[in-house]
């Protein structure tokens, strides 16, 4: 009696198309599930940010059915693939080889292949080089299909307890203090919850900068090791959190969430008074620039308002 080949043997054989189709499968809880063939295209697949149980069934089926799997670090991705019995070999695509590997992936897409792109954790294109590949695929007319799932900023947002109706994700802040403070200053008047990635080594300095620039009473949350064994969410004001983390040895992946400012925007009367005061000592252009820095309004609108005030006078 002929023994039926295992999936690994069928894939290694490579001579039997039927066996190759059978080999496209994934495994959940010891149950093997066949993966349907994929249409050609670039599939952007979200992967867990810590807990492998957060991987979606649609994501697994897409990974198992893809002709090519591109990832940041093959060692990290191999852990995920092995957990769910996906034996397709992953290929590295990251910021250091994007110029060399990217064109090869585009060639494969143009040849009608299906390419699955994953990052080490979370959703591709969020602070990784996948954006470049996606843009090129769109420009060449290749379908780009998102397969949603885990996302560290979204997990932090809902865990923070801060307003979620309007939020702004801004990636990593600069590592140098002055550049970091300047960047934070750009968000001072943004009426949205701010979301940043941060290194554990820079967290204390970042909180100090944020407290100084945005105000010590502004609500915030430090979300660390989300979905992992040592998950922690600390909530408080920026001033309180800056003190807590000042001398603390921090480890793990961190998302910093900062609530929107509570100061209402200045009224038209307040803006007019400020413009009049500045214009008494500065040329109109410089007065408008300084007023824009202080109020958050655009220089163009303030300059037009200042000229209108002079005409009215």
* pLDDT tens for each residue of 127-154: 777 899 999 999 999 999 999 999 999 9
Above 70 in pLDDT, residue 277?
yes
Residue 182, pLDDT above cutoff 70: yes
What's the rounded mean pLDDT across residues 259-285?
84
In a domain, 79, yes or no: yes
Domain boundary residue, one of 102, 130, 150: 150
Residues 141, 23: one domain?
A: yes
Residues 115 and 181 in one domain: no
Do 84 and 208 belong to one domain?
A: no
The answer to whether position 263 is within a domain reads: no
Q: Does some domain include residue 254? A: yes
pLDDT at 265: 67
210 and 130 both lie in a single domain:
no
pLDDT above 80 (res 303): yes
Top mean-pLDDT range of 21-35, 102-116, 126-140: 102-116
Phi, psi at residue 306, to the nearest 5°? Answer: -65, -40
**d(C-alpha 25, C-alpha 124), whole Å:** 23
Q: Let me know whether 288 and 194 are in one domain.
A: no
CA gap 197, 236 in Å, rounded: 18
Whole-number mean pLDDT of the chain? 89
In a domain, 2, yes or no: no
What six digits make up the tokens of 178?
């002055």
Strands 114-117 and 41-45 come out as parallel
Residue 18 has pLDDT above 50, yes or no: no
In this structure, the answer to whether residues 273 and 254 fall within a common structural domain is no
Residue 63 included in any domain:
yes
Residue 139 burial by Cβ neighbours in a 10 Å radius (0-12, 13-18, 19+): exposed
pLDDT at 85: 96
Would 1 be classed as within a structural domain?
no
Among residues 125, 150, 175, the one where a domain terminates is 150
**For 217-235, what is the mean pLDDT?**
97
Looking at the structure of the chain, the number of domains it has is 3
pLDDT, residue 6, reads 39
Angle, CA 118 vertex, CA 133 and CA 194 arms, to 5°: 85
User: Which residue segment(s) compose the domain that 195 sits in?
Assistant: 153-258
pLDDT > 70 fraction of the chain, expressed in percent and rounded: 91
Q: Which of 134, 150, 166 is the last residue of a domain?
A: 150
Q: Say what the pLDDT of residue 20 is.
A: 39
End-to-end CA separation in angstroms for the chain = 102
Q: Are 12 and 144 in the same domain?
A: yes
38 DSSP 8-state letter: P
pLDDT band with cut points at 50, 70 and 90 for residue 17: very low
Nearest CA among 33, 25, 28 for reference residue 8: 25
Query: Looking at residue 157, which CATH number applies to its domain?
Result: 3.30.950.10
Residue 231 within any structural domain of the chain: yes
pLDDT value at residue 311: 81
Q: Is residue 125 assigned to a domain?
A: yes
Greater confidence (157 vs 20) lies with 157
pLDDT tens digits, one per residue of 266-275: 788 888 888 9
Residue 219: pLDDT band (50, 70, 90) is very high
Q: What integer pLDDT is reported at residue 60 of this predicted model?
A: 97
Are both 232 and 294 inside the same structural domain? no
Give the range with max mean pLDDT: 107-121, 253-267, 271-285: 107-121
167 and 212 housed in the same domain: yes
- Please report the pLDDT score of residue 224 as a whole number: 98
Query: Is 17 in the same domain as 143?
Result: yes
Give the domain CATH number at 64: 3.40.1010.10
Residues 41 and 144 in one domain: yes
**CA–CA separation, 31 and 28 (whole Å):** 5
Q: Are residues 161 and 135 in the same domain?
A: no
Higher pLDDT, 150 or 21: 150
pLDDT of res. 294: 84
Is residue 194 over pLDDT 70? yes
Output the six-digit token pair for 189: 């008047």
Place of tokens 């509570």: 262
């Amino acid at each position: 009696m002929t023994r039926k080949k295992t999936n690994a043997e069928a894939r290694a054989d490579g001579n039997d198309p039927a066996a190759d189709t059978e080999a496209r499968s994934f495994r959940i809880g010891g149950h093997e599930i066949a993966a349907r063939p994929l249409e050609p295209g670039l599939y952007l697949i979200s992967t867990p940010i810590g807990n492998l149980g957060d991987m979606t069934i649609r994501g697994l089926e897409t990974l198992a059915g893809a002709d090519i799997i591109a990832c940041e670090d093959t060692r990290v991705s191999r852990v995920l693939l092995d957990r769910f019995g996906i034996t397709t070999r992953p290929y590295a695509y990251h910021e250091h080889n994007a110029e060399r590997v990217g064109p090869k992936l585009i060639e494969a897409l143009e040849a009608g292949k299906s390419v699955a792109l994953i990052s080490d954790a979370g959703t591709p294109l969020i602070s990784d080089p996948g954006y470049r590949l996606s843009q090129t695929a769109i420009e060449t007319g290749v379908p780009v299909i998102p397969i949603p799932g885990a996302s560290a900023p979204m997990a932090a947002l809902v865990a923070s307890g801060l307003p979620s109706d309007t939020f702004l994700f801004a990636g990593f802040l600069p590592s140098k203090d002055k550049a970091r403070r300047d960047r934070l200053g750009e968000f001072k008047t943004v009426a949205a919850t701010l979301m940043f990635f941060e290194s554990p080594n820079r967290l204390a300095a970042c909180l100090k900068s944020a407290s100084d620039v945005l105000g010590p009473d502004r609500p915030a949350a430090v979300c660390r090791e989300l979905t992992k064994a040592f998950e922690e969410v600390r909530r408080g004001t920026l001033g309180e959190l800056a003190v807590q983390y000042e001398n603390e040895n921090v480890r793990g992946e961190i998302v910093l969430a900062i609530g929107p400012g509570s100061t209402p925007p200045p009224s038209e009367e307040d803006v007019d008074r400020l413009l009049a005061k500045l214009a008494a000592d500065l040329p109109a252009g410089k007065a408008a620039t300084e007023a824009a820095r202080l109020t958050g309004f655009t220089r163009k609108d303030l300059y037009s308002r200042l000229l209108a005030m002079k005409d009215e006078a």
